[in-house]
Structure formats: structure tokens, C-alpha cells
Amino acid sequence: MLRKLVVGNWKMNGSLAQLAELSAIVEAARGRADVDVAVCPPATLIAHAAAQAGGLAIGAQDVHCNPHGAHTGCVSAAMLKEVGASLVIVGHSERRQDQRERDEEIRAKAEAALAAGLQTIVCVGESDPDRQAGRAVEVVTNQLLGSLPDSWSVGELVLAYEPIWAIGTGKVATPADVAEMHAAIRRNLAQRFGERGASIRILYGGSVKADNAAELFAVPDVDGALVGGASLSAAQFVPIIQAAG
């Protein structure tokens, strides 16, 4: 079994005042030597969060694929590292939708992040119409093929399966659906990367809460969670960390 990783994605939420929640999360994470915990606040808070994170990993929610240059509004992997980020999320479905990010671009971002030494979480997940049409595994398999880099070091590449219809909706995938998809992803990783594929942690994301976390963590090949709304408050996030142990 791989060591579980619980990541909070604050999305476009949080201010300096919100960092009080981070302090409580840091305390809880310190008490759990058996679980890896990270928080990805908005870019404006990364430096502040890293300064008070203790052993907690702080990450970014996106990165540009180039190291520098004329890309207004973007930040590079080296810039994120410099202010204390140790990981980054790429290819979140909200970016695939809002910014029309495609698999090739996500792969380039992942390559740049890994090259800079950032642990990289690549997100995949199907829409509700895809699932209704019985195409969920096919869609996710194609995303894996297009967005995963070929070259990575053990521990540095992480996957997050986030069905779009479960994000922020309170609708959680059933343990059976999660088991089916995570097994399909694991098979796909084994085909592509051989034995090393077994070292990639596969997180589940989509309405993970204190009351469903334990059930999700018990599913085979669920190696942690990517948590949105419930990561904004320590009261909701800490029980999820505890359920992972």
C-alpha cells in the first residue's frame, strides 16, 4: 500500500485571514506522521502559507510550461519554488473548462514542473454526459495518454481522478465506481510504465468530506484525496486527514 496523500485545493478562495485555518491544519498534520498532507492556496498566498507551514507542503494550482518570458499573468515552476511551493496541480477540470487547457499543454506543464523539482498532480476526470454514455473509462484513458509525461522520478508524479459531476456538487462517486476507475487507471499506468506505474499515487477528488473520507480511503488503489470545499476549514479538513491514517 502506498502512503496516503491528502491535498487541499483552495481554488480561488482565501485571503491572509484564511491562513489562521492553515495553522490548525499544520498542527493536525504534524500529529500524523503516517500521512502526507499538502495545501494549495491561491498563488497570492503561497509565500505567506509556506512561511508558516512548518512541515506541511504548500503547492500551487497551476504553472506555465515555460521558465520565463512574455506570458502575461502566468508564473513558472521556478518562481513557485522560489516562494516555497513544493508541489503543483496541473490539468484541473476547472482549468480544462475555463482556460480550455488541452492534454498536450497539461503534459508540457507537468514536464516543466517535474524538471524544476515540483511534485506534480495531474488531474483527469469525465463529465456527466461522458459517464451517462458509458464512456468514463475511455475518456480518462485518453486524458492519461495525452497529459502524462513519459519521464518522472518515483514519488514526484501523482494522479488525481476527479469526476467533473462530483466536484462541488455534494454528489460523490460510489465506492464501486471509484474502485472501477482507479483499477482502470492503475492498469493503464502499469501498461505504460511497467512496475514503476505501481508507485504513482492515485487520489480521488469530488465532494470528499469528513463523513465519506474513510469509505473512499478504504477503496483499493485510492491513495489519498484532492479536497476542494472541505479543505477551506480546519474543522472539516482535519477529520479527512485523520481518516487517511
Could you give the residue numbers annotated as active site? 92, 162
For residue 241, what is its C-alpha cell?
486527514
Say whether residue 245 binds ligand 13P (CB under 6 A): no
CB of 52 to ligand 13P, least distance (A): 22
DSSP label of 153: -
CB of 212 to ligand 13P, least distance (A): 10
Say whether residue 216 binds ligand 13P (CB under 6 A): no
Of 125 and 149, CB closest to ligand 13P: 125
Say whether residue 229 binds ligand 13P (CB under 6 A): yes
Hey, is 225 helix, strand or coil?
Answer: strand
CB of 70 to ligand 13P, least distance (A): 30
Cα angle 51, 84, 86 (rounded to 5 degrees) comes to 130
Of 149 and 163, CB closest to ligand 13P: 163
Of 62 and 103, CB closest to ligand 13P: 62
- List 26, 110, 222, 227, residue binding ligand 13P (CB under 6 A): 227
For residue 100, what is its C-alpha cell?
480550455
Hey, is 239 helix, strand or coil?
Answer: helix
Q: Pick the closest to residue 226 from 53, 36, 82, 80 (CA basis).
A: 36
Of 105 and 162, CB closest to ligand 13P: 162
* Binding residues for ligand 13P, total number by CB under 6 A: 14
Say whether residue 167 binds ligand 13P (CB under 6 A): yes
Say whether residue 162 binds ligand 13P (CB under 6 A): yes
Say whether residue 211 binds ligand 13P (CB under 6 A): no
Say whether residue 207 binds ligand 13P (CB under 6 A): yes
- List 117, 168, 220, 245, residue binding ligand 13P (CB under 6 A): 168
Cα angle 96, 4, 26 (rounded to 5 degrees) comes to 90
Instruction: Quote the CA–CA distance of 60 and 16 in Å, as a whole number.
Output: 16
- List 122, 208, 216, 238, residue binding ligand 13P (CB under 6 A): 208
CB of 233 to ligand 13P, least distance (A): 12
Instruction: Quote the CA–CA distance of 231 and 40 in Å, as a whole number.
Output: 10
Q: Pick the closest to residue 61 from 149, 160, 155 (CA basis).
A: 160
C-alpha separations of 98 from 9, 87, 137, 206, 232 in Å: 17, 22, 23, 18, 22
Looking only at residues 84 through 113 of this chain, which bind ligand 13P when binding is defined by CB under 6 A? 92
Report the run of H or E that residue 161 belongs to, with start and end.
strand 157-161
For residue 42, what is its C-alpha cell?
491561491
Residues in contact with ligand 13P by the rule CB under 6 A: 9, 92, 162, 167-168, 205-208, 226-230
